[in-house]
Every structure is written in structure tokens, then in C-alpha cells.
Amino acid sequence: MSPEDALLAFARCMREHGVDLPDPQLSGNGGGQVVAIDPTTPAFRAAEKACEPLLPKFGEMDPAANQAFQDQMLAYAKCMRDHGIDYPDPEFGSGGMASAVELTVDPNSPAFQDAQEACGTNLPGGGTMITVGGEGGTGGAPATNP
């Protein structure tokens, strides 16, 4: 299954488990998608546990692609900061997957949306970002990976 198909299956699964998660927008135009969802609720955690096996296995990429992915995620974080958003660098696990970052700004705010639009092309594949959480929430899960 392609990463795009896996993300669509994950979104469907989350909805089937009571979390209103829209299908990711995978146009690759560098835009962003922000979804305000509280990831700390019992309903979200239960749905995530049930649906997590459907997520793409990003850690299975070759080392060169993994380094390129990390470089792109770091460039995205820097760009967001350059555009006035307090956006920390992601941390990377052993498989290269970026951890979610803790946001201190409302991802629905005009400032965040403007920065997201300007910086989206830094995401892997010029891809889309799915952000969960509201103001002060957790966010920053890349929707695509090389």
C-alpha cells in the first residue's frame, strides 16, 4: 500500500472509531492542512491505538532518503520560525520518523496559516502537514515521506 493510501485508510479508521479526522489533502502543492483535534482525549487515544497499524512505515526507507527527510523537516521548522511561529525542531526516532512537536500557537490562527503556506514546500515531497491539537496542542505529523 502506498503511503498516500495508508494515510487515507488511517483517516477512515479514525472516523470509524469516532474521531472526526478528514482525509488528508495529498495534492503535493506545498499547502498545509490543519486539523484541530485534542489528542489527549480517551476517544482519540483509543482510535489512534486501533488505527496506528494502518500508518505508513516511514522508518523502512533507505538511509539517504531518511537523511533527506530529516533535513526537510528541519528546514520546515526553521522556515516556520523565520515566519514568526514558535516551532521547535522535531526529534527523530531510530527509524527516522519525526516526533510530534508541541505548539504554543493556535494552528488555526492567520499567522500560523500564512507561515504554513509559505513553508509547506519545505515538507518532504512539498507535501501536506496534518496537525492535531489546538492552541498549545501537539502537532506536526508529516503526511508524506520520500
According to DSSP, the β-strands at 33-34 and 129-131 are parallel
pLDDT number for residue 52: 84
Q: How far apart are CA 86 and CA 81, in angstroms?
A: 6
Task: Tell if the pTM clears 0.75, that is, is over it.
Answer: no
In the chain, how long is the greatest CA-to-CA distance? 39
Joined together, the cell numbers standing for residue 54 give: 494502518
- State how far the Cα of 127 lies from the Cα of 130, in Å rounded to an integer: 10
Pick 58 or 23 by higher pLDDT. Answer: 23
Number of domains in the chain: 1
Between the CA atoms of 59, 64, 67 and 72, what dihedral angle is there, to the nearest 10 degrees? -100
What's the pLDDT tens digit per position in 67-104? Answer: 777 888 889 889 999 999 988 888 776 555 566 667 77
Residue 53 structural domain: 3-142
